[in-house]
Amino acid sequence: MIDLPRIQQAQARLADTLSPTPLVLDHALSDRLGRRAWLKGELFQRTGSFKARGALNWLRTAGPGELAGGLGAVSAGNHALGLAWAARQAEVPVTIVMPENASPFKVAGSRELGAEVILHGDINAAWELMHRLVEERGLTLVHPYDDERIMAGQGTVGLEILAQAPEAQAILCPIGGGGLIGGIGVAAASLRPSLSLIGVEPTGAASMAHAWAEDGPARLERVDTCAKSLAAAIVGERTYPLSRKNVQALATVDEAAIHHAVRHLLYRAKLAAEPGAAVGVAALLEEAVTLPPEGDIVVVITGGNMGREELEAFL
């Protein structure tokens, strides 16, 4: 498992290229809760999400043998953008398999960054194709979440939150495959063990809750949510134990709650966040989580990659 020094090393490794993202006070949500609610603006990061952190950390720790045949990944979109951007910095070719229902905005953005993007089936079928391409082309698979170098990079979000919000008593973090909350959890447990870390998932893709119930990663037969960035059918062999160790609670939110949260962020907080980034706010608006009795709350707003057609559905 990753530890605090590896996350701190990742932070130093990325510092010359990736700037810390701001905490934005959500005044309307703070008034509603009677306490300060901060939004961690990962939608302002390079490529529009936190994924650039893990991807760049992976590239900067990769050996020549890992890069020689090119890279491959499966992604709903944000990992594709982050990896394509990081790979372009290193002049390494990358092939991404994305589900056929992937965001056109993210598909186009990944191609503009130089990635070969293949649209194929649902998320499970996309994984099957990528495993074949790894064998046929000699690609090195860069897993979107179940990789220690990826998780260490994502954990730098946690280091920033702890430095920026000294009075925070809870962090709400979206969960797809668990890489982000895994990294944040290691940082928080090491530096502020009294802090409550709460994971939030869409009801149509609650893969971490399913893993907790099954006592280990278990594939969802069906994934159905507007929060496509969280549509992982199964959590990782590495992310699962980290969640059990460092996450205090899980919550789920339905599609109506996610739509409500996207509109809240757009109209009240003035942030154009994608649906997967809004689930933490949805949990607060729906009172779906039990918070510590006092202290600030931080909600991770994971990304903002949405085209006009996608945005219109939430207006």
Answer whether residue 285 shows pLDDT above 90.
Answer: yes
For the domain made up of 52-145, give the CATH fold. Rossmann fold (3.40.50)
Q: Any idea where the domains of the chain sit in the sequence?
A: 4-50+149-312, 52-145
What's the Rg (C-alpha) of the chain?
18
- Look-up: residue for tokens 């059990």? 244
- CA–CA gap between residue 239 and residue 65 (Å, rounded): 26
With cut-offs at 50, 70 and 90, classify the pLDDT of residue 170: very high
* DSSP letters spanning 50-102: THHHHHHHHHHT--HHHHTT-EEEE-SSHHHHHHHHHHHHTT--EEEEE-TTS
Burial class (CB in 10 A: 0-12, 13-18, 19+), 160: buried
Tell me the pTM. Answer: 0.96
Report how far apart, in Å, the C-alpha atoms of 209 and of each of 139, 204, 259 are. Answer: 32, 11, 21
pLDDT tens readout for residues 179-221? 999 999 999 999 999 999 999 999 999 999 999 999 999 999 8
Tell me the percentage of the chain whose pLDDT exceeds 70. 100
Q: At what angle do helices 239-246 and 207-214 cross, to 10 degrees?
A: 80
- Look-up: residue for tokens 């609670």? 249
Answer whether residue 310 shows pLDDT above 90.
Answer: no
Answer whether residue 123 shows pLDDT above 90.
Answer: no
Give the Cα-Cα-Cα angle 5, 7, 10 (nearest 5 degrees): 110
Answer whether residue 269 shows pLDDT above 90.
Answer: yes
Structural contact between residues 84 and 60, judged by C-beta atoms closer than 8 angstroms: no
pLDDT tens readout for residues 35-70? 999 999 999 999 999 999 999 999 999 999 999 999
pLDDT tens readout for residues 127-169? 999 999 999 999 999 999 999 999 999 999 999 999 999 999 9
Mention the CATH class of domain 4-50+149-312: alpha beta
Asked, colleague to colleague, whether 4-50+149-312 and 52-145 share their fold, the answer is yes
What per-residue confidence (pLDDT) applies to 65?
Answer: 96
Q: What's the token pair of residue 123?
A: 């998320």
What per-residue confidence (pLDDT) applies to 124?
Answer: 87
